[in-house]
Amino acid sequence: MSLKEQFGTDVLLTGWGHSRFGKLTEDTLESLIVRVAAEAIENSGVDAAQIDEIYLGQFNSGLVPLGFPSSLALQTDPALANVPATRVENACASGSAAFQQGVKAILAGTARTVLVIGAEKMTDASPELVGSALLGADYDLAGQESTSGFAGLFAVVAGAYEDRYGAIGDVLGSIAAKNHRNGVDNPFAQLRRDLGEDFCRTVSDKNPIVAGTLRRTDCSPVSDGAAALVLTTSTARSAGAATDPVRLAGFGHANDFLPAARRDPTEFAATRVSFERALRMAGVGLDDLDFAEVHDCFTIAELIMYEVMGLTAPGEGRRAVEEGWVYRDGRMPVNISGGLKAKGHPVGATGVSQHVVSAMQLTGTAGAMQLPAPRRAVVQNMGGVGVANYVSVLEAV
């Protein structure tokens, strides 16, 4: 059963905008939001006056002084005056949380056209502030000092994985190298440099250990950036739209317990449930998907996502790398955009960005990133260590 069969309506992504990710010293949170919102509205072919609701995904947690940014999008166009606008926060999944709130507004019948934005300005904050802000998303370390931040939490995951399944070897370096190579072709990416496997696998002055066994190349960077998209119900291409629309075939959301003691560090149980819910709603299986954008905040997260989505059995994720399945010419290309690892991870923008780059693939407008005629994609975004989990299945119309 598809989303349309379940709810009686289509939900379409009809236009999008995307900033470059990185250290954007000339931009403010406001300028990023306004720019990508304007691009999304223009590319969708709708009039700003048709937008019924706005959802903004942003984590913030003190990264910028302004803690009330929901109305910034109204400055995109005078026609947006008085449109309901809401900030949505769910840690690193804030962008996908905003996306699903927009979807649910359409399915509830309270909106027909929704503007969804994800944005974050991180690089103006000190490294210490960034670290403490991000740790505000962890039950055990919130409010405490930490030298390794979330890298330390995922280093624990990597250690637990090796304890259970054996040494990982060079597979994390291969994942990092894959995503850096993919990022070269993404004009929005923060790190557009092919570092090669040898560099990513080797500890050096330029690639030091950050926490546990995780090297700098295993960790996504601190980033500024924004992305936006327009959701509507009509499958007809609007006059003036830049591309054909993309259909949302299914979506899933599942939360796990916040205390680490109540979660298996290698299982990502709620992440698995979010995949199952999205695929079931879409009425598809893994073999029906052409590519995936997954939340590789750290390379160990991408490795486990191979197992969680069902590409391999638990403990066998390295096969997907060693046998070439997840490369751009493999059976399930993963993170063709470069992922968070190379594209960057402006926290609130990430989930929206993942949907945008996937929609570009499905409309044949991904430029140098483009895969040969993909028809269906899965997008996975999470907050915390597998705590807040969102999955979407998108398909070409």
> Could you tell me the pLDDT band of residue 145, with boundaries at 50, 70 and 90?
confident
Q: Is the pLDDT of residue 238 over 90?
A: no
Give 31-64 pLDDT, tens digit per residue.
999 999 999 999 999 999 999 999 999 999 999 9
> Could you tell me the pLDDT band of residue 301, with boundaries at 50, 70 and 90?
very high
Give 149-197 pLDDT, tens digit per residue.
899 999 999 999 999 999 998 999 999 999 999 999 999 999 999 999 9
Mean pLDDT of 212-238: 93
Mean pLDDT of 303-311: 98
Coil, helix or strand at residue 6: helix
Looking at the DSSP assignment, which residues form a beta bridge with residue 246? 13, 396
Mean pLDDT of 289-312: 98
Mean pLDDT of 305-314: 98
Active-site residue numbers?
A: 92, 345
Confidence at residue 24, expressed as pLDDT on a 0 to 100 scale: 98
Pairing, β 12-18 against β 246-255: antiparallel
Confidence at residue 234, expressed as pLDDT on a 0 to 100 scale: 79
Domain range annotation of the chain: 3-125+222-232
Give 332-352 pLDDT, tens digit per residue.
999 999 999 999 999 999 999
Average model confidence (pLDDT) across the chain: 96
Residue type at 243 in one-letter notation = T
> Could you tell me the pLDDT band of residue 198, with boundaries at 50, 70 and 90?
very high
Pairing, β 388-396 against β 376-383: antiparallel
Q: Is the pLDDT of residue 1 over 70?
A: no
Distance CA 308, CA 320 (A): 12
Which pTM value belongs to this model? 0.98
Confidence at residue 122, expressed as pLDDT on a 0 to 100 scale: 97
Cα maximum dimension of the chain = 59
Distance CA 253, CA 246 (A): 20
Neighbours of 183 (CB within 10 A): 27
CB-CB contact of 63 with 105 (8 Å): no
Q: Which helix (H) or strand (E) holds 161?
A: helix 149-165
- Third-level CATH fold of 3-125+222-232: Peroxisomal Thiolase; Chain A, domain 1 (3.40.47)
Mean pLDDT of 253-269: 97
